[in-house]
Amino acid sequence: NAGVMQNPRHLVRRRGQEARLRCSPMKGHSHVYWYRQLPEEGLKFMVYLQKENIIDESGMPKERFSAEFPKEGPSILRIQQVVRGDSAAYFCASSLRLSSGANVLTFGAGSRLTVL
Amino acid sequence: DAKTTQPPSMDCAEGRAANLPCNHSTISGNEYVYWYRQIHSQGPQYIIHGLKNNETNEMASLIITEDRKSSTLILPHATLRDTAVYYCIVRVLVGSGGGADGLTFGKGTHLIIQP
């Protein structure tokens, strides 16, 4: 049972280009979360999605960032017109709700974006 | 969500038990305590969670005080590979309302296991 798969693991973009990060959740998980970790800082929640729906995007920057989780295929975090401040590690997590009401997240290894 | 307070760093000798404290004095009855860790540059890793009772799994034990205002994560025999930042997170039960189901990570405790 593969874990949460993220690709690419490393991505280099020049300012103004687009970055697309992909996340395949664990088998059977229908909830996906994206987090960003700036260098030497903590994890910041960005967005929570279920299949074909954005449930909470309160942590997403208002411009240039978008996320989707289509019916088929991986979740995509898209950053348009990247700037140097977008350089960070982007982590995806998926979850399977437990009958107890707990919500345990399984994280991927992350995608590291470097903007030149 | 209830706010948590953790010491910024701790040292522990290899082979000894590592006891990581967490205060969550404003926790409410429908909030779980979760522990995750992040080893340098890797994705966060789930360790354990609990509501009221003490919990144990293959990685660790979680001791929650009777009033639920604090908890302790115990790594029984720490190894060098346990060096990581440990996060204590409090979050409402799914379906209890309260907004996003994502977890909010604070600064955590940087646990350093000494050889």
Question: Element (H or E) spanning B84, and its range?
Answer: strand B84-92
In the numeric block, the tokens 């942590």 are attached to A59
Q: pLDDT band at residue B97, thresholds of 50, 70 and 90?
A: very low
Alpha-carbon span B3 to B88, nearest angstrom = 10
Percentage with pLDDT > 70 across chain A:
97
Do the Cβ atoms of B102 and A45 come within 8 Å? yes
Do the Cβ atoms of B91 and A103 come within 8 Å? yes
Residue A54 at interface with chain B, using a CB cutoff of 8 Å: no
- For A47-65, the DSSP string reads EEEETTEEEE-TTS-SSSE
Tokens of A92: 């995806």
Bridge partners (DSSP) listed for residue A53: A50
Tokens of B94: 């799914």
Q: Mean per-residue pLDDT for B38-51?
A: 93
Tokens of A99: 């009958």
Q: What are phi and psi of B29, to 5 degrees?
A: -65, -20
Burial A58-67 (b: 16+ CB within 10 A, else e): ebbeeeebeb
Long-range contacts of B52-56 (CB under 8 A, 24+ apart): none
In whole angstroms, what separates CA A5 from the centre of its chain? 11
Alpha-carbon span A33 to A90, nearest angstrom = 10
pLDDT, tens digit (0-9, with 9 covering 90-100), for A35-78: 999 988 889 999 999 888 998 898 999 999 999 999 889 999 99
User: Which residues of chain A have a CB within 8 Å of the CB of B43?
Assistant: 4, 91, 93, 107-110
pLDDT, tens digit (0-9, with 9 covering 90-100), for B58-88: 999 999 999 999 999 999 999 999 999 999 9
Positive or negative, the CA dihedral A53, A34, A3, B94 is negative
Q: Name the minimum distance, in Å, from the CA of B104 to any CA of chain A.
A: 7
Alpha-carbon span B96 to B5, nearest angstrom = 23
| pLDDT the model gives residue B41 | 83
Q: Indicate the residue of A56, A91, A95 with minimum beta-carbon distance to B43.
A: A91
By CB neighbour count within 10 A (0-12 exposed, 13-18 middle, 19+ buried), where does A85 fall? exposed
Say yes or no to pLDDT of B98 above 50.
no
